[in-house]
A and B are shown apart, each in its own frame.
Chain A
Amino acid sequence: MASRDFLKNPKLEERFFRARVYMVAFLVICSIFVLGVRLFHLQIVSNEHYATLSQENRVRVVPLAPTRGLIFDRNLKLLADNKSSYQIEITPVQVDDLQQIVKQLAEYIELEEHHLKKFFEDVKRKQSFEAIPLKLNLNEIEVAKFSVNRHRFPGVEITARANRFYPFSGLNTHALGYVGRINADEAQKLDKQMYSGTTHVGKVGVEKFYENLLHGEVGYQHIEINAQGRKLRVLEKVPPTPGADIVLSIDARLQKIAQESLGERNGSVVAMDPVTGEILVFVSTPTFDPNLFVNGISSKQYSLLRDDGDRPLFNRALRGQYPPGSTIKPMMALAGLHYGATWAGETMYAGPYYILPGHKRKYRDWKKGGHGKVDMYKAIIQSCDVYFYTLATELGIDKISEFLSQFNLGSRTELDTWGEAKGLMPSVQWKKAVYGQPWYPGETVITGIGQGYMLATPLQLAVATSAIAMRGQGVRPRFLRATRRQAQAEEPASATAMPTVNVESDLYWDQVISAMVDVAHKPNGTAFRIGKDAKYKIAGKTGTAQVFGLAEDEEYEEENVAEKLRDHGLFIAFAPADDPRIAIAVIVENGGSGSKSAAPVARVVMDHFLLSKEELTATYGPKNKAQKNKDSNSLANSSANISINNAVN
């Protein structure tokens, strides 16, 4: 057909066409070469880079949370357990519409607002392939209801997890603290890797302080996943190392005794072994059930606790700062002896009040008629205020402050827990710094009987009492008795000495301690009611802390004062006096006199620590514990020897 065309030149056209084909062929080869170079670059030059990316793509490292260490009391009673409970978890990547799924789940599982809030907060924080708990601690009905409808919820699963459980409920809360869900703030601060699988962290108390010991080390699971994030198989597994178990020095049995002795009253009991520093009792009433906080407390429950007038959330033993009142008198006496302001047998006349030379103001004694002729012994035994007003004035605030500071008043005891309050040991410098005012002599007077600015926590008082019991060789208080790692021997914790209290002569210790023994064992002692029938020697001191000031001429009438404004009763003691094994500080808020309210509590606790079972039965009878509690109260009421420290400022 083409041959019919006159204008066609076949030879020329063929040459022309071939030239084009050659050119095209050349371009084709060049292009293939370019592709080759590109692929060379991807597969050879950048191979390592892409191999890494590919590995990251397919392998997910899934953390395996370690089991939290258990917490025992000194007799190896379990205080903090891990109880397996069911929780419902959602893996966001496997769910199309989270809101929708959660809404549907609410038909089977009771969901409160705080569950949802926490869940969506976690969704934002965690990666989409991680299973995020929606609600912990499901009950059996919820588990059953969900299980029946499980097929309707892909990406939603119920898993069993070990959850913290405190079998003694509120008994040890203020010592143990509790764990709770990790919040966004904590997530920032915690080691991201170590806590990658962990849901709970110690929030307060020992649980927080020993978090590192208790937590353990995270394990890993390398799992192969596909592009949808579904787990295909486990490639490698590094099991987690469980946290160490810890043995605390507290005694759950004594805790219970102490708590029951305090009864409905607000207060605190701190008892420790003055030799080792081990805390035996650490009670603050009222208390609360820490289990409420483990899986997220509802706002309703929380506000109930928060707004309770008795402040159950407040850790009185650790953070309650009270005027120590007359409990500092033995230390004041030591200061007087040490600085040579007096000697034990020196007598003075103590009238019903004290007047600073050149002033008019009367500083009253708690005893209306005054104590008459007193020496240091009698001043401690009867808690004579006038004697100590005089002594304080003679010593001056600088010496008082310096000497009492040696007993750790005004500074933290460094107990192994969180949030300890410092108390307050006033000084001239302190007042200048805080109030910008000079120190007035009248303030020295009332400091002499532990009133005024001075504040101490029950823990501090127990530590100071230990220091007296040990004649100045105090020891740091601690909760930790031992740690136990899996398959390893128990590692006992060791005692740390506190700075020694320096006193000119050891004789002074004997003098002050013998006066403290007489407080409990002499009929005129303020704590005779608890000492008279004791089977061991108690060295103690009562105290009363004023809650509100009285005018100069006013009389404090306990019955006439509203409970909230009634004095706090205090008592410090150690026993046996010649071989101290327990030092105790008790405070009963608004309990009135320390002799009536606090001392009996101390006696019951000391009895249960020091006496054998037979002796206990002989004293308290084979009754139930509630009965025992009543006994100790009647014991308190039967005695007529009342000590009220009626200080006036």
Chain B
Amino acid sequence: MASSYSIRDSLVNSPIREERNLFNIDPTLFISLVLLCTIGLAVLYSATSGEMAAITRQSIRFALGFAVLIFLAQIPAKELARWSPWLYLLGIALLLVVMMIGYSGKGAQRWIDLGVVRFQPSELLKIFLPMMVAWYFSEKPMPPTIPQIFIALIIIAIPAGLVLTQPDLGTALLIAFAGICVIFLAGITWRLLAVFGGIALASMPVFWFYLHDYQRQRILTMLNPESDPLGTGYHIIQSKIAIGSGGVYGKGWLNGTQSQLDFIPERSTDFIFAVFSEEFGFLGVVLLLCAYGFIVMRGLTIAARAKNTYSRLLAGSLSLSFFAYFLVNIGMVSGLLPVVGVPLPLISYGGTSAVTLLAAFGILMSIHSHRKFLSY
């Protein structure tokens, strides 16, 4: 594991600047995020064919997101830990509200309309759930015992299940993933991991049975998109054409024919990566992957340097969630994974996702700058 040593070096043994940052903001992470959001707006400009209204709305969301980020960075992780169970319960309650009175969009009930804004409570759970699981483990000696893991799994299953019934498989999986990351980082033994892994694999056919037709179709389509080129395979075929035709240098900003001529469906939201790779080519893609990788590594560094269980688990889980976002999105757009509705973090058009992502980074920054005060 030669590479793991280098990872370890970069994560822990690099010189740490111990001086406190202005407003508890980690400048490296902050600048990376601002950069990513800027790229996001540029791609969105192209994807919407220069629709300024969309750019303005997205900019407002980013502004809101950064405000939340800065605000959360000021709150010590200790406080966050204290609120965790209540936030979790609030999230569950909101999910129940959605179930009853939610606003339907595209065949699924995911939204709550607050008059001014509509938001998806399921997005909140992406933060509230890992907080809850981390809080649950925070006062227990690590690694966790089997009963503790079971309780953690139940904590995960409730919101994930509720989101699944909306139905929103993508978000449900991401929420579950955030929780499972906490369990993994908490130190579940390999043997237990193997057992749970086995159970998960064995339950796949049952799971398949409960999937909606369109979800099954998406999985089948991923396996062979050409089987239905005008139906569900159309998205994947067109996005692969967009990506592939980008080549090394891309067709240039605003010059992607696939994007500009409407061939990529959902090109400003879930499939925006196709627009990006068509217009910026492989070079752009490598830079984007590096940027994402850097941000995840920075998040994991923060986790590794955190001084208590809650901070560690939460920072690790949030970083990995961010990672899962772009992994699943890029994997899906490039035809490696089935089409699940996961946006490309900070680039896809969409409100709740942008705000919750930036909020998560606010928490990471809080954990980073308040670690001294939380050390034993």
Q: Are B185 and A20 in contact (CB under 8 A)?
A: yes
Looking at chain B's contact residues, the main secondary structure is helix
Residues in B whose Cβ lies below 8 Å from that of A375: none
Please provide the chain B residues from 276 to 298 with a CB less than 8 Å away from any CB of chain A in the complex. 277, 281-282, 285-286, 289, 292-293, 296-297
Q: Are A43 and B282 in contact (CB under 8 A)?
A: yes
Interface string of A37-67 (1 = CB under 8 A from B): 0111011101101110111011000000000
Instruction: Check B187 for interface membership: any CB of A closer than 8 A.
Output: yes
Instruction: Check A550 for interface membership: any CB of B closer than 8 A.
Output: no
Beyond known contacts A24-B300, A24-B320: 16 more, CB 8 A cutoff: A1-B138, A7-B141, A8-B140, A16-B187, A18-B12, A25-B4, A28-B300, A29-B3, A35-B330, A36-B285, A39-B330, A42-B240, A42-B243, A47-B248, A50-B245, A57-B241
Q: Assuming A24-B300, A24-B316, is B334 touching A58 (CB within 8 A)?
A: no
Instruction: Check B22 for interface membership: any CB of A closer than 8 A.
Output: no
Choice from A5, A22, A28, A227 contacting B139 with Cβ under 8 Å: A5
Q: Are B245 and A35 in contact (CB under 8 A)?
A: no
Q: Are A21 and B303 in contact (CB under 8 A)?
A: yes
Interface string of A72-101 (1 = CB under 8 A from B): 000000000000000000000000000000
Q: Are B245 and A51 in contact (CB under 8 A)?
A: yes
B8 nearest CB neighbor, chain A only? A22
Instruction: Check B167 for interface membership: any CB of A closer than 8 A.
Output: no
Instruction: Check B132 for interface membership: any CB of A closer than 8 A.
Output: no
Instruction: Check A31 for interface membership: any CB of B closer than 8 A.
Output: yes
Whole-angstrom CA separation of A386 from B187 in the bound complex: 127
Instruction: Check A551 for interface membership: any CB of B closer than 8 A.
Output: no
Instruction: Check B1 for interface membership: any CB of A closer than 8 A.
Output: yes
Q: Assuming A20-B184, A22-B8, A36-B286, is B263 touching A58 (CB within 8 A)?
A: yes
A372 CB to nearest chain B CB (Å): 91
Looking at chain A's contact residues, the main secondary structure is helix
Instruction: Check B242 for interface membership: any CB of A closer than 8 A.
Output: yes
Q: Are B282 and A28 in contact (CB under 8 A)?
A: no
Choice from B3, B138, B243, B261 contacting A227 with Cβ under 8 Å: B261
Q: Assuming A22-B7, A36-B286, is B334 touching A54 (CB within 8 A)?
A: no
Residues in B whose Cβ lies below 8 Å from that of A42: 240, 243-244, 277, 334
Q: Are B336 and A38 in contact (CB under 8 A)?
A: yes
Q: Are A54 and B241 in contact (CB under 8 A)?
A: yes
Residues in A whose Cβ lies below 8 Å from that of B300: 21, 24-25, 28
Whole-angstrom CA separation of A226 from B264 in the bound complex: 10
Q: How large is the interface on A (under 10, 10 to 19, 20 to 34, 35 or more residues)?
A: 35 or more
Stretch at the interface among B113-121, B304-312, B338-346: B304-312
Whole-angstrom CA separation of A44 from B248 in the bound complex: 6
Instruction: Check B327 for interface membership: any CB of A closer than 8 A.
Output: yes
Instruction: Check B51 for interface membership: any CB of A closer than 8 A.
Output: no
Instruction: Check A3 for interface membership: any CB of B closer than 8 A.
Output: yes
Residues of A within 8 A of B (CB): 1-5, 7-10, 13, 16-18, 20-26, 28-29, 31-32, 34-36, 38-40, 42-44, 46-47, 49-51, 53-55, 57-58, 224-228, 232
Q: What 4 pairs across the A-B complex have the smallest Cβ distances?
A: A50-B244, A54-B245, A227-B262, A7-B141
Please provide the chain B residues from 216 to 253 with a CB less than 8 Å away from any CB of chain A in the complex. 238, 240-248
Instruction: Check B172 for interface membership: any CB of A closer than 8 A.
Output: no
Q: Are A26 and B1 in contact (CB under 8 A)?
A: yes
Q: Are A17 and B244 in contact (CB under 8 A)?
A: no
Whole-angstrom CA separation of A31 from B257 in the bound complex: 29
Whole-angstrom CA separation of A39 from B1 in the bound complex: 26
Whole-angstrom CA separation of A15 from B323 in the bound complex: 23
Residues in A whose Cβ lies below 8 Å from that of B11: 18, 21-22, 25
Q: Are B8 and A38 in contact (CB under 8 A)?
A: no
Residues in B whose Cβ lies below 8 Å from that of A39: 243, 277, 282, 285, 289, 330, 334
Residues in A whose Cβ lies below 8 Å from that of B262: 226-228
Residues in A whose Cβ lies below 8 Å from that of B320: 24, 28
Whole-angstrom CA separation of A132 from B243 in the bound complex: 34
A46 nearest CB neighbor, chain B only? B244
Residues in B whose Cβ lies below 8 Å from that of A35: 289, 327, 330-331, 334, 336
B257 nearest CB neighbor, chain A only? A58
Residues in B whose Cβ lies below 8 Å from that of A224: 257, 261
Q: Are A49 and B261 in contact (CB under 8 A)?
A: no
A242 CB to nearest chain B CB (Å): 33
